[in-house]
A and B are shown apart, each in its own frame.
Chain A
Amino acid sequence: MSAENERTGDGGVETQEEPREESRDGGAVATDGEHLVELYKNMILIRTFEEATQRGFRQGKIGGYLHVYIGQEAVATGFIDAYKEGDRVITAYRDHPFPLLLGSDPKSVMAELYGKGTGLVKGKGGSMHLFDVENGLYGGYGIVGGHIPLGVGFAYAMKYQETDHICQLYLGDGAINNGAFHEAANLSGLWGRDGMNPCLWIIENNQYGMGTSVARSTAMTDLGAKFDAYGIEHEKVDGMDLEAVLEVAHRTADKVRETGQPYVVEALTYRTAPHGSADFFEKYRTKDEVKKWRQRDPVGQLEHKLLEREILDEDALEEIRAEMKETIDEATNFADESEEPSVEELYTDVYAGEDEYMGEE
């Protein structure tokens, strides 16, 4: 153990299994080159977007909290690829990639972070509360674990309404020790027994709840196995490998859709960026650890594959990067130049129906 690891108590590295070779093959998923290129573009879109938000934050143009998805791109990109129209997606506050993947305009996503009236939720939610219901995104929630029961409720409603839609319910490893998680998992298993809970649980195990590693949070570090207590099947996937995620995502989404029963995928991933805007020192992990995971960066891995298989060459990669940069520059300019919401907006959307607001203004 290095001195640095001793200091942090456990060093995230040892707590994690090495990604298994077999999951790296991507199983039997037939991802043609064109599809991979599309998904590569999505990942670059997210990465470029997130880097722009970090700049915006440093410039004081983004207020509040900011939690970026850098390092975890393969997870959302792979699972949202299995999204079908009518499905519902719910996640916690590390939510920027979801609207981008589900078809929201990057301009309105960025404008939301900038607190503008043109934002995705009119400047009323900010970074942690991105919603695009038309495209299946039902939030964006700020209380760790608090959104989980909602997703289980979505899944029940989908069966009650006799549809074949599913809920993709994302949660971090940090939510696993929260009461809301356990109560909701129990309900999901219980209702799923009668085919009333088509809920695909996706654990984005980035190995830290803020700065507390999985090993420092629970004596039982196999997070998927927590679901054994609730009668829900589970598996793991290497969340840094897009092709591995894709295979699992499509197979498990189909299964949940077919059975009406929940299923859990624990995606092992890593947040190479700081936890949030106030995570300056990262005392909870070593530089070596971050470096090691950066070598397994999902974007880098996919680039390597695209080159190796001669799907794209360096110039083509560079072209995509430039294209995405342009998209994000436009989004940033749009956000910058947009107006703040009108002050009248303060009192709208408090209540639905005729009495938009009750009380003194």
Chain B
Amino acid sequence: MPEKTYREALREAMVQEMENDESVLLMGEDIGVYGGTHLITDGLLDMFGPRRVVDTPISEGGFTGAAVGMAMTGLKPIVEMMTWNFSFLAADQIIQNAAKVRYFSGGQVEVPLVIRGPNGGGVQLSAQHTHSLENMYGHFPGLKVVSPVTPNDVKGMMLTAIRDPNPVIFLEAGALYGTKGEVPEGDNAVPFGKARVAREGDDVTLVSYGRQVNLCMRVADKLEEEDDVSAEVIDVRSIRPLDEETLVESVKKTHRAVAVQEQWRYFGVASEVAAIIQDKAFDYLDAPVERVSGAETPAPFARNLELAAFPNEDMVADAARRVLYEKVV
């Protein structure tokens, strides 16, 4: 199977659907002539022309709203949010229009819209350019929210997102655009609402999504090496809908869980995961579910502070040891 970068896989999905479906178009800031801030759309203007690769002015609310209008009337826009940090300026359009218009129109319209862009931090962009918004958007009925981490999933979930008749919030692991992985040619559509068991294990379940999955994989290696503990790693990848079944099945096997997220602790996805587990697998639990989260501060700039602000291997490994009632050094 060919190896591709996350960036290439993402681009491939969009090109494939644009070739298959005339109604798919791209919109966003500097996606055309410039080639995209993160070079995801590089070359697409030449391939598809300016009607289908629309460079917009810097007005997130305006162009996101226009895309909602296009989606309501037969087009399938893919909007690039240069980074998700700018989506607050478009939040009224996403939340008040995209998410709800189908409902308050009594089902008379559909909104087949994808809004995509890099989410999360880790590259010293400091407070205003570092957010993980999966819990915020995951809160609103009417939206679907996904957060793929592997090149295979980013392609497969983008195919699914474009074909979905609902608005999809597509949160990319911005720090991982250059990472490589196996990606099949052609159609590898990955359904929403299905978590991926990234690594099988018996003793403890590590639940995460986005780039924290890679962290959990490293921690699983570490636990195996240092503690002889077999950790299962679950990549949730679809935040809404959330695959409760895979979580519950895993905990029934391991009896212990740690939920890891880059975002802030309170009211986050990890809290939801912990709630689901205590709801549906309470009798199987041998320890309270642990959460590992970002520090309760705006994201700092200095590298050492930034590293301290996000979950690291030790934090996750120690949380796993606590739920295993092992001695934490």
Write out the residue numbers on chain A whose beta carbons fall within 8 Å of the beta carbon of B43. Answer: none
Report if B327 contacts A (CB, 8 A).
no
Nearest chain A CB to B134 CB, angstrom units = 15
Q: Contact between B166 and A124 (Cβ–Cβ < 8 Å)?
A: no
Q: Contact between A196 and B51 (Cβ–Cβ < 8 Å)?
A: yes
Q: Contact between A143 and B92 (Cβ–Cβ < 8 Å)?
A: yes
Report if A82 contacts B (CB, 8 A).
no
Chain A's closest residue to B106 (CB) is A121
Q: Contact between A151 and B97 (Cβ–Cβ < 8 Å)?
A: no
Report if B298 contacts A (CB, 8 A).
no
Task: State which of B59, B93, B105 has its C-beta within 8 Å of the C-beta of A139.
Answer: B105
Chain A's closest residue to B241 (CB) is A358
Given contacts A121-B106, A147-B97, A186-B62, contact A153 B69 (CB under 8 A): yes
Q: Contact between B101 and A139 (Cβ–Cβ < 8 Å)?
A: yes
Interface string of B227-245 (1 = CB under 8 A from A): 0000000000000110000
Task: State which of A146, A158, A186, A358 has its C-beta within 8 Å of the C-beta of B73.
Answer: A158
Cα A179 to Cα B89 with chains together (Å)? 10
Write out the residue numbers on chain A whose beta carbons fall within 8 Å of the beta carbon of B62. Answer: 149, 152, 180, 182-184, 186-187
Q: Which A174-191 residues have C-beta < 8 A from chain B?
A: 179-180, 182-184, 186-187, 190
Report if A333 contacts B (CB, 8 A).
no
Cα A152 to Cα B75 with chains together (Å)? 13
Cα A264 to Cα B92 with chains together (Å)? 25
Write out the residue numbers on chain B whose beta carbons fall within 8 Å of the beta carbon of A280. Answer: none
Cα A140 to Cα B101 with chains together (Å)? 10
Q: Contact between A183 and B61 (Cβ–Cβ < 8 Å)?
A: yes
Given contacts A349-B107, A352-B110, contact A184 B66 (CB under 8 A): yes
Report if B315 contacts A (CB, 8 A).
no
Interface centre among B51, B56, B59, B74 (most CB of A within 10 A): B59
Cα A2 to Cα B7 with chains together (Å)? 68
Cα A124 to Cα B105 with chains together (Å)? 7
Chain A's closest residue to B142 (CB) is A350
Cα A140 to Cα B72 with chains together (Å)? 14
Interface string of B51-90 (1 = CB under 8 A from A): 1000011010111111111111111000000000000000
Task: State which of B65, B142, B241 has its C-beta within 8 Å of the C-beta of A149.
Answer: B65
Cα A184 to Cα B235 with chains together (Å)? 39
Report if A96 contacts B (CB, 8 A).
no
Q: Contact between A138 and B106 (Cβ–Cβ < 8 Å)?
A: no
Q: Contact between B65 and A348 (Cβ–Cβ < 8 Å)?
A: no
Report if A40 contacts B (CB, 8 A).
no
Q: Contact between A353 and B166 (Cβ–Cβ < 8 Å)?
A: yes
Nearest chain B CB to A174 CB, angstrom units = 16
Interface centre among A122, A179, A352, A359 (most CB of B within 10 A): A352
Q: Contact between A152 and B102 (Cβ–Cβ < 8 Å)?
A: no
Cα A339 to Cα B92 with chains together (Å)? 33
Q: Contact between B104 and A150 (Cβ–Cβ < 8 Å)?
A: no
Report if A129 contacts B (CB, 8 A).
yes
Given contacts A146-B65, A154-B73, A180-B65, contact A350 B164 (CB under 8 A): no
Write out the residue numbers on chain B whose beta carbons fall within 8 Å of the beta carbon of A151. Answer: 69
Write out the residue numbers on chain A whose beta carbons fall within 8 Å of the beta carbon of B164. Answer: 353
Report if B96 contacts A (CB, 8 A).
yes
Nearest chain B CB to A73 CB, angstrom units = 25
Cα A358 to Cα B151 with chains together (Å)? 26
Task: State which of A119, A132, A153 has its C-beta within 8 Å of the C-beta of B70.
Answer: A153
Q: Contact between B104 and A129 (Cβ–Cβ < 8 Å)?
A: yes
Q: Contact between B68 and A149 (Cβ–Cβ < 8 Å)?
A: yes
Nearest chain B CB to A98 CB, angstrom units = 13
Write out the residue numbers on chain B whose beta carbons fall within 8 Å of the beta carbon of A120. Answer: 106
Cα A187 to Cα B96 with chains together (Å)? 20
Q: Contact between B57 and A125 (Cβ–Cβ < 8 Å)?
A: no
Q: Contact between B142 and A146 (Cβ–Cβ < 8 Å)?
A: no
Report if B268 contacts A (CB, 8 A).
no
Write out the residue numbers on chain A whose beta carbons fall within 8 Å of the beta carbon of B71. Answer: 153
Write out the residue numbers on chain B whose beta carbons fall within 8 Å of the beta carbon of A124. Answer: 103-106
Cα A158 to Cα B70 with chains together (Å)? 9
Cα A149 to Cα B56 with chains together (Å)? 13
Cα A190 to Cα B62 with chains together (Å)? 12
Report if B165 contacts A (CB, 8 A).
yes
Report if A351 contacts B (CB, 8 A).
yes
Given contacts A139-B101, A187-B57, contact A131 B106 (CB under 8 A): yes
Write out the residue numbers on chain B whose beta carbons fall within 8 Å of the beta carbon of A131. Answer: 104-106, 108-109
Q: Contact between A153 and B66 (Cβ–Cβ < 8 Å)?
A: yes
Write out the residue numbers on chain A whose beta carbons fall within 8 Å of the beta carbon of B106. Answer: 119-125, 131, 349
Report if A148 contacts B (CB, 8 A).
yes
Interface string of A334-350 (1 = CB under 8 A from B): 00000000000000111
Measured CB to CB, the residues of B under 8 A from A are 25, 51, 56-57, 59, 61-75, 92-93, 96-97, 101-112, 141-142, 144, 164-166, 193, 240-241
Q: List 22 A-B contacts (CB under 8 A).
A: A119-B106, A121-B104, A121-B105, A121-B106, A124-B105, A133-B109, A139-B105, A142-B96, A143-B92, A150-B72, A151-B69, A152-B69, A153-B70, A154-B69, A157-B75, A161-B74, A180-B93, A184-B65, A186-B57, A351-B144, A351-B165, A359-B141
